[in-house]
Structure 1
């Protein structure tokens, strides 16, 4: 659905975060006379009212009856279409679309392909992978956009001039369905991995996987770049797409830290500024995608050495009184926390673990602690007591220190006492920040402040937009 197709329809916006504000600006730019209704919180309503948009009506009760009064609701990604009120309104004929769907529809060519679009999704590593993709494209002299779930809504780049040659787009599982429902097709879709995640939004792991895969199975990209090591991705049949594999010996893959293209050694990745082995492996995904669009990937690979790591993703803040502080606030699954721990094997680590409880299973994490435990685990947050209870018998057997903290400040203090004058304080909570913080960024900033670092200096995402 293009923005012009909203004209003359009963249209509402649902959500007033950055995505909601971007949708409002984009619609107003194309349809200045279209009446709109906004469903948002009372606090957000004050901000919306300050715009002075006489054709914007603001309401707070987004119940099924009110939503059903509209033909089209442009919703923010964080609002699940599986909410009962959304399902009830959809049954009455209301169509829910996201800003990502509007953007893709606006940019589709005659064949439905969005030229130059390289979309990246996956449970872990997608932000770093997308940013690295944009970085290498720019290093090769290509004008590239970096946008999407990484921190810049696509609708904020509705019509940049001059237009970029390539779009490096991060898509969360909240947005992959938008692409599938837009009627447009990505030129390239990259899928990194699939672990249990966002079960509260999707309702089940099976639905999460299905929604994530819609970027491949329903959006029908011209080229699909898939991780051969992921069993779900390896089993996919995509008759409408040309498939390129990474992590396989006949393509881009790692042998230890050595990057290979087939049998040819390309470079050593051990010193690259890519946090965690999984992100060095995802370099293979980036190079496969570049190769798929005709770029000399081998020539660009060395430019990964000048990549600037993203904030809140295994981000080393620095050292204070002998302790190194690492901010991995974006970690929202047990798998992510395990991957973070693996980066610091052989070092004394105090792991800060826990946050909003979405019901993800922690049994695999607990089993791993029998042989891969850090010096100390400090639990906190809503699911902290559940994790603590699961780890208690393991800690008694494996001999690591296990403590429960009241909040993040208490957790940092306990980590300092546990490590003394040397070691790594690692915030990799394996859970969202909801409840205690607005988002993972606010949590990471607070951690930096507690550790004695400037939260402003550690938070900017390099390279967003068009360059």
Structure 2
């Protein structure tokens, strides 16, 4: 059966859909395909209590379930469509089999785009980048709501996109976070406006081989394809502008830059601690419109300010007023584990940025503080740390390293910042030692290295799953250990 033209208003009866993976997005895709009348065969290659709970629910709704615990899933014999979760690499046998048989392969994002209500197709304002996606999308959602619009943050954060587009009460606009994995499996999606915040090394375990970094950037660039109004790029990251230049967009779409410096015409930037717009006003050749001040933001860390400018650019492209931009930014507070001050004690500041899960994110975080006792390490995902250490080495008082790939960071420090003391907290991996016990040892080591005026910064530059459930659990354990330490010191 040809499913290439099917949408929200069409009959899906008789469509044999295979859904690979039923995490949050996969379960939403399966649920909505069943609602539309398709038959669904959901497969997974691992299970945990949450997956098993979703599997039971999907089975009750009428899906066929196959869980290949610890084994590779193959494409079922009967399939008209494969909807694949972002965790499946393009060389997975399931996907290779679908390509060989001429079966369409969509991600949940592509499925959602095709299922928009033709009578009320809410525009998508899309954001990707190596770092800052979630913060930017949540800022954007805050701005849109301040403008009185019915908005939602969806995609890689918040609501699955299929749930957002199938909501009986249509949204006015959707703020969409997209990972490179999700973009890899898009085809027809076309945002009203889109932003690439930055492009740096990450996920090189997924994008393997000599062309891995180019493939990663190319997938990021897919977000610009078909853009109608604005392609927002980072003036400080030339790779993002190159992606704009390479994109095929709707005639009349504009390239809009954002910068932490004084903006040129067609850009947003900062002048005397004021966020300004020289892109969306009639007098942009000679003047700028005020969008707020640095004091309106929850943090003045450079990467946080850049995120605010990108969110403002997307909102302004949608027609949002200057006043709504300021109110949305002023009311926004970032999620936990994003440059969150845990404690200030005895002249030392303890900061949790556990969500800095790659070197680029860690570098952005480290650039906001000085001097720093840096807590880092975990799963490096194939990334190198030489550029980071070269850039931030002079800021470091000491480094406390944990995790499976801590030696990658230690070796980079040895090469480029040999005078920085390195303390390795070596422990067995998951299950052998408690998360809080590990962080107690880390905090004790950091406290001994820190001096008055220092910041102890958890910005791991690595994923967490070797020793923690996820980045949030890592940040929670750090915060709990810090509070124990400072309470004990006070008592």
Residue aligning to 2:473: 442
Residue aligning to 1:200: 205
Q: Distance in 1 between matches of 2:469 and 2:12?
A: 32
Residue aligning to 2:432: none
Deviations 1:422-466 (A, max 9, x none): 64321111111233234322322232333338xxxxxxxxxxxxx
- Residue of 353, 372, 381 corresponding to 1:358: 381
SS at 1:174's partner residue? helix
- Residue of 243, 264, 282 corresponding to 1:249: 264
SS at 2:135's partner residue? helix
TM-score by length of 1: 0.85
Q: How far apart are residue 224 of structure 1 and its match?
A: 2.0
Deviations 1:394-443 (A, max 9, x none): 443xx322111125423233112222676432111111123323432232
Q: How far apart are residue 323 of structure 1 and its match?
A: 4.2
**Is residue 249 of structure 2 the alignment partner of residue 240 of structure 1?**
yes
SS at 1:38's partner residue? strand
**Structure 2 gaps, min length 5:** 1-5, 279-286, 428-437, 485-491
Residue aligning to 1:79: 88
Do the aligned residues in 2 keep the contact of 1:351 with 1:378 (CA within 8 Å)? yes
SS at 2:180's partner residue? coil
Distance 1:355-1:141 versus aligned 2 partners, 3 A rule = same
**Is residue 233 of structure 2 the alignment partner of residue 213 of structure 1?**
no
Distance 1:327-1:7 versus aligned 2 partners, 3 A rule = farther
Distance 1:8-1:136 versus aligned 2 partners, 3 A rule = same
Q: How does 1:38-437 map onto structure 2 within 5 Å?
A: 38-43=43-48, 46-51=52-57, 52-53=59-60, 55-61=62-68, 63=72, 65-66=74-75, 70-83=79-92, 85-107=94-116, 109=118, 114-178=121-185, 180-181=186-187, 183-203=188-208, 204-217=212-225, 219-235=226-242, 236-241=245-250, 242-247=253-258, 248-250=263-265, 251-255=267-271, 257-262=273-278, 263-264=287-288, 266=290, 267-270=292-295, 272-274=297-299, 276-297=301-322, 300-319=325-344, 323-345=348-370, 348-371=371-394, 373-396=395-418, 399-407=419-427, 408-409=438-439, 410-419=441-450, 423-437=454-468
Distance 1:400-1:65 versus aligned 2 partners, 3 A rule = closer
Q: Distance in 2 between matches of 1:315 and 1:205?
A: 31
SS at 1:16's partner residue? coil
The alignment's C-alpha RMSD in Å is: 2.8
TM-score by length of 2: 0.81
Distance 1:297-1:23 versus aligned 2 partners, 3 A rule = same
Range that drifts further, 99-108 or 313-322: 313-322
Do the aligned residues in 1 keep the contact of 2:72 with 2:93 (CA within 8 Å)? no
Deviations 1:173-232 (A, max 9, x none): 111234x41x24221112222112212223311100011111113x44443222233212
Distance 1:287-1:298 versus aligned 2 partners, 3 A rule = farther
SS at 2:31's partner residue? helix
Distance 1:123-1:68 versus aligned 2 partners, 3 A rule = farther
* Aligned residue pairs, count: 442
Q: Distance in 1 between matches of 2:238 and 2:192?
A: 24
Deviations 1:211-256 (A, max 9, x none): 1111113x44443222233212223244523023122421311236
**Structure 1 gaps, min length 5:** 454-467
Q: Distance in 1 between matches of 2:329 and 2:189?
A: 31
Q: Distance in 2 between matches of 1:137 and 1:55?
A: 38
Distance 1:48-1:64 versus aligned 2 partners, 3 A rule = closer
